[in-house]
Chain A
Amino acid sequence: MRGGLFSLFNRVGAWVLLLFLVTPALIAIPVSLTPKRFLSMPQGELSLRHFEKLFTSQEWLSSFFQSGVIAVSTSVLATTLGTLCAIGLWRVSSKYSELVRAFLLLPLIIPHIISAMAFYRLWIPLGLLDSYAGLILAHTILAAPMVLITVSASLATFDPKLEQASKNLGASNWTTMRRVILPSIKPGVFAGALFAFILSWDEIVVTLFISKFSVYTLPRRMWNGIRENTDPTVAAAAVVLIAITLIAFVIFAIQSRRNTNNTAS
Chain B
Amino acid sequence: MNALRKHIHPGWLIIAPLLVMVMALYLGPILNILWLSVTDPEPGFGNYAKLGESDALIRILWTTVRICIITTVFSVTLGYSIAYAMMHCHQRQKNYMLTLLLVSFWISILVRTFSWLMLLGRRGLVNVALEDIGLIAEPIAFMRNELGVLIGMIHYMIPYAVLPLLVSMQAIDQRVMDASRNLGASGSQTFLRIYLPLTKPGLVASTLLVFILSLGFYVTPAVLGGGKVLMVAEYISVQLLVTLQWGTAAMLAALMLFGVLAMLWIMSRFMKLSTVFGGAAR
Report A's interface with B, CB cutoff 8 A: 2-3, 6-7, 10-11, 13-15, 17-22, 24-28, 31, 39, 41, 81-82, 84-85, 87-92, 94, 97, 100-105, 107-122, 137-138, 140-141, 144-146, 148-150, 152-153, 173, 191, 195, 198, 202, 204-205, 208-209, 219, 222-223, 225-227, 229, 234-235, 238, 241-242, 245-246, 248-249, 253
Query: Which A residues are in CB contact (< 8 Å) with B107?
Result: 22, 25, 241-242, 245
Minimum-distance CB pairs A-B, first 5: A111-B216, A3-B187, A14-B85, A91-B11, A88-B15
26 intermolecular pairs with C-beta atoms under 8 Å apart: A14-B84, A18-B82, A18-B101, A22-B103, A24-B112, A25-B107, A25-B115, A81-B21, A84-B15, A84-B18, A85-B14, A88-B11, A88-B16, A92-B12, A109-B264, A111-B216, A118-B26, A118-B30, A118-B32, A122-B32, A141-B25, A141-B26, A152-B274, A202-B108, A238-B111, A238-B115
A114 and B256 form a contact (CB under 8 A): yes
For residue B83, give the distance in angstroms from its CB to the closest CB of chain A. 8
- Beyond A105-B274, A110-B257, A113-B216, is A39–B118 a contact (Cβ under 8 Å)? yes
For residue B72, give the distance in angstroms from its CB to the closest CB of chain A. 15
Distance in angstroms between the alpha carbons of A255 and B13 in the assembled complex: 31
User: In chain B, residues 251-282, which have Cβ atoms closer than 8 Å to a Cβ of chain A?
Assistant: 253, 256-257, 260, 264, 268, 273-274, 277-278, 281-282
B187 and A2 form a contact (CB under 8 A): yes
Report B's interface with A, CB cutoff 8 A: 9-19, 21-22, 25-26, 28-30, 32-33, 78, 81-82, 84-86, 88-89, 97, 99-104, 106-119, 125, 128, 155, 158-159, 186-188, 190-191, 212-213, 215-219, 223, 232-233, 236-237, 240-241, 249-250, 253, 256-257, 260, 264, 268, 273-274, 277-278, 281-282
